[in-house]
Amino acid sequence: MTPKHFITVQDFTKAELLDLIALTRLIKEADKQGCTPRLLEGASLAMIFEEPSTRTRVSFEVAMAELGGHALYLKPGEIHLGVRESLGDTAQVLSRMCDAIFLRALKHETMEGLAAYATVPVINGLTDYNHPTQVVCDVTTMLEHRPAGKALEDLRVTFVGDATNVLSSLMFISTRLGMHFTHAAPKAYQPPDAWLALAEANCAESGGALTITDDVAAAVQDADFIYTDLWWWVGQEDEIPDRYAAFMPTYQVNRDLLAKAPAHCKVMHCLPASRGVEATDEVLDSPQSIIFDQAENRLHAEKGILTWLLYPRMPRPSEALKAYHQGRIEDFLNR
């Protein structure tokens, strides 16, 4: 069976993404009643990390365990990924031993290279380009906290801050699903033309809306959700003074900015947060903040993604066939 990878939400239709989110919500409902079905009994997930993680690592490991499978944590330096062994060789070896491969990579090219050779599903756990597993969780969270009577397509999401890997995926999934997406940032930190072209094409197909602006007050005035993220990422440490000066204080999500939004507006952050930088403690810990609901939903989203990708590929031998092989092996051992 040709593997279906989870590299970018752009690879999936609106209907497929809605099915994935619906599955995530079904599994979460079962989980809340202590009834998570062990749909991936015996499955294994190779988890390769090129940088540290809290939410992503814990959510995938717990998800596999609760679905009946097993996750192997492969930290930097423990395998020969791209060093002493080609990406292609690593992909093919892991494909023979595991049912899926997860990768958190510093460069998106590494993700694409691994997926090109893997014969099992490859899951993107974040690159310098995007973070698709995060935004499945984000839309799930928005559906749980949307204003009463509002359809998904009516939701207005405003991202305040740098054009990060989370911004790209959130912009793509929002416009793919027909939502209204706004990015507020200084012009130097707005999305590149290639990202905008994809989002605009999504809107043309879905009926969604895209706004890019440096007017943060206008950007939040109708927002149902204000989302923010770190102002700098790995490899941008030398830019911190310039980035801080560009964003602070205008683009900080603080009480003054939140007051410009509707009273029902919720605050989101993918975490980890630089508290007091892109957002204040007063906002992150306020009743309008849903950042920990969002963090918890990483677990449920990973369960949904893993089940969506792996369940159709899982072997389902008959009881007779299992008994046949067990008998043969026991006969051999007892001879």
Identify whether 137 is a catalytic site residue.
Answer: no
- Using the structure block, give the residue that is written with the tokens 């491969």: 101
Instruction: Kindly list the strands in the beta sheet with 44-49, ordered across the sheet, starting from the edge strand earlier in the chain.
Output: 70-74, 44-49, 100-104, 122-124
What is the sign of the dihedral through the CA atoms of 65, 70, 74 and 78?
A: positive
Please list the alpha-helical segments (H only) found in the chain. 14-32, 55-66, 87-97, 108-117, 132-145, 165-176, 193-206, 216-220, 240-247, 255-258, 281-284, 291-310, 319-333
Q: Which of 57, 98, 134, 180 is catalytic?
A: 134
Catalytic-residue membership of 134: yes
Angstrom distance (rounded) from CA 203 to CA 155: 14
- Residue type at position 151: A
Q: Catalytic residue, from 138, 229, 265, 294: name it.
A: 229
Neighbours of 112 (CB within 10 A): 18
- Catalytically annotated residue among 131, 156, 183, 243: 131
Q: Tell me if residue 264 is catalytic.
A: no
| Beta strand spans in 217-292 (E) | 225-228, 266-269
| Among 98, 137, 265, 270, the one annotated catalytic | 270
Identified catalytic residue from 104, 180, 183, 300: 104
Question: Quick count: other Cβ atoms within 10 Å of Cβ 133?
Answer: 27
Asked if 298 is an active-site residue, the reply is yes
Indicate if 131 belongs to the active site.
Answer: yes
With contact defined as beta carbons under 8 Å apart, do 10 and 170 qualify? no
Look up 55 and say whether it is catalytic.
Answer: no
| φ/ψ of residue 299, rounded to 5 | -60, -45
Active site residues: 104, 131, 134, 229, 270, 298
